Structure 1
């Protein structure tokens, strides 16, 4: 018998030029404008980022527009990146942000939420405003801002939900009223809509953001996105999908086998590849296909990200033209598919 050939995962994922690299919508623009106008009335900005994509969920627009106020960076959904939640990784991320405060949270953990409240209290006590202290939540779409607000209200005030949450971005589309998260000292927190970056520097970043749910699922073909998921899972542990198929680099093989085993079949028993791709993506987002970080985390990674953003060197008008062209091409592609 011939010896079994060891599985070798793909070392790279090919660039796909057809992937849209923009998701900067009208309410994103109006959101950042309103946030800038309210900046003078708040004492602390709590910026949320998804722990699974600590660099990709960074929005440089906040660095530019929300300056002059104390900022705390809260990495949400740490439970979904638990396999990478070691002290070395956390310390590296903290060093990216010094001297800003950095916390890692799971909104279901009261202990995590109490740490956020404690720092907010420290800021409020240092200001000592007799009318109470206002703070602002900020972050990319669907990074967990509203979930964090609800958790802060639950732990700080013993009350239920104040903000609607959902698995898709865009649930919070405008700046709402303030929500009290602590009564001693009095702290009011302002929920804001997620603001996407005007232009994503590369397709890998867009695929990462799509995979964790920061863009609408309709923006990128689910089979393409699931192929990227397969690529990332194989680099971590190809046995994570062993219930459906042996290790493979072929997304069609995996989706076909998974569709048959899970009963996702169309007319005539034909495997529903698209529905199966969506299901696997949802399983990943729930933490059932590995809990790991998608971005590189080292001291140089942050500098590379900053240089990447700076090296784009395109005018705002050029960016708008490219975004408009990409959206038109994407719309035309969808129309031709329907026809």
Structure 2
């Protein structure tokens, strides 16, 4: 399998864009994939937003293990950061997000009024890696009849503020960050969840790595879904048994590895195997101890 790389040129440009517009916002929304909260965040984000108040949004919570999602929310809260689970496809959790944004900057807004400044909407910016649902969330938050509130001083030409439900304005900028793939496991997990296009990867190897993980962490799910009598130690043997049970066979009785690979990837992403989270707070704490 080829090495998955990150793009420092793109990263530098995006970092500068965010920093340029950061002074215009009151709060940052950091968007993560609820299935991979560690791998779907850029490790430089806190440095980039320079201590600006932040709310974490765990999107795609409908695809993740609800128990583990709650563990993540509790973990972030202990770290002094409020986190909310949402589903951008149906809008679940987004009302709670708008309320949380207002609460996060409540003291700042009250201080403005005490100084005799006029009341204004809360201004927010969303940052996140590609394919975690930024556009879907913005579309749900703004609604079809969202009104652009016009250019603000100091904003790069073409950037717009859009009014959200509630007293909130969103700076509609391409707040996209690429993660650093120094740890190849990060690249693998983003490939599992579809954040990296399948076309640039070896799908058979990616699927084998996913099978190995799922057979280790979710053996009962795998046995039930793929009619496995038992989980073997060798991941390739499990993959071959799954292929036989699904009829992924080509002439001569040989295993069709590409077909079973695509089946597993599709069924994982469509939650047919089960609601699965690939990273837990314990994983993060273990990595920090190493």
Q: Pick the TM interval, shorter chain.
A: 0.7 to 0.9
Within the candidate set 219, 230, 233, 2:214 is matched to: 233
Aligned to 1:153: 142
Over the aligned positions, Cα root-mean-square deviation in angstroms equals 3.3
Aligned to 1:22: 5
- Residue 138 of structure 1, CA deviation: 0.6
In structure 1, stretches of 5+ residues that fail to align are 1-17, 163-174, 309-339
TM-score by length of 2: 0.76
1:116 aligns with 2:101: no
Q: Is the 8 A contact 2:76 2:82 kept in 1?
A: no
Q: Is the 8 A contact 2:124 2:168 kept in 1?
A: no
1:194 aligns with 2:176: yes
- Residue 225 of structure 1, CA deviation: 1.3
Partner SS, residue 164 of structure 2: strand
Aligned to 1:210: 191
- Structure 1 residues 243 and 56: alpha-carbon distance in aligned structure 2, compared to 1, 3 A threshold: closer
1:81 aligns with 2:64: yes
Within the candidate set 97, 101, 106, 2:87 is matched to: 106
- Structure 1 residues 88 and 65: alpha-carbon distance in aligned structure 2, compared to 1, 3 A threshold: closer
**Cα deviations across residues 126-182 of structure 1 (Å, max 9, x unaligned)?**
43665644311011222222222222224xxx658x9xxxxxxxxxxxx96443213
Looking at structure 1, the residues matched to 37 and 44 of structure 2 have their Cα atoms a distance apart, in angstroms, of 16
Residue correspondence of structure 1 range 172-321 to structure 2 within 5 A: 177-182=160-165, 184-198=166-180, 200-241=181-222, 242-246=224-228, 247-249=230-232, 250-256=234-240, 272-298=256-282, 301-306=283-288
In structure 2, stretches of 5+ residues that fail to align are 113-117, 149-157
TM-score by length of 1: 0.66
Q: How many equivalent residue pairs?
A: 269
